[in-house]
Amino acid sequence: MSKSIHPRECSIADALDLVGERWTLLAVRELSHGVRRFDQIVRNTGASRDILTARLRKLEAAGAVRREQYNAHPPRYEYHLTLAGQELGDVLLTLMKWGDRHLNPEDPPVTWQHSCGETLDPVVICAHCGEPARKGAHSPTGRGALTAD
């Protein structure tokens, strides 16, 4: 008798179904930097045209990106992040911080200056108490929470 497998329900898994591939996140990075045209996104990411097309279509279908036509003959489009896509920028900043700390500690390739004038140091905090959202400071609840099976 085989035991059926029931993966844990999780918004992380759901989000990774959309953005958990290198070219998708690099396309979002470019759009976050204000790069709008397909050829520029291809150049800056290194993605093949067919893969990038598929990733942008998936982001568009999910409501994270919208296309705007800028040329009729031939039809050409610019890509823009929606609010949902812009919120992925926070994810990219924390991913960049992790990469800077663990992969490029001596020489981060890019740093950001915050509007306060200091180098941006993104931190994930609880919106209610302002404390860091680190392991041990929170516990899972809901239908995807840990079970003792």
Q: pLDDT at position 132, please?
A: 86
Q: pLDDT at position 57, please?
A: 97
Whole-structure pTM value: 0.84
Q: pLDDT at position 67, please?
A: 97
Q: pLDDT at position 10, please?
A: 87
Report the distance separating Cα 59 and Cα 64, nearest Å: 5
Tens of pLDDT along the chain (149 residues)? 556 777 888 898 999 999 999 999 999 999 999 999 999 999 999 999 999 999 999 999 999 999 999 999 999 999 999 999 999 999 999 999 999 999 999 999 999 999 999 999 999 988 998 888 876 667 777 777 766 55
| 65, burial (CB in 10 Å: exposed 0-12, middle 13-18, buried 19+) | buried
3 state SS for the chain:
CCCCCCCCCCHHHHHHHHHCCHHHHHHHHHHHCCCCEHHHHHHHHCCCHHHHHHHHHHHHHCCCEEEEEEECCCCEEEEEECHHHHHHHHHHHHHHHHHHHHCCCCCCCCCCECCCCCECCCCCECCCCCCECCCCCCCCCCCCCCCCC
Length of the chain: 149
Q: pLDDT at position 135, please?
A: 67
Q: pLDDT at position 34, please?
A: 96
Report the distance separating Cα 141 and Cα 40, nearest Å: 43
Report the distance separating Cα 66 and Cα 96, nearest Å: 25
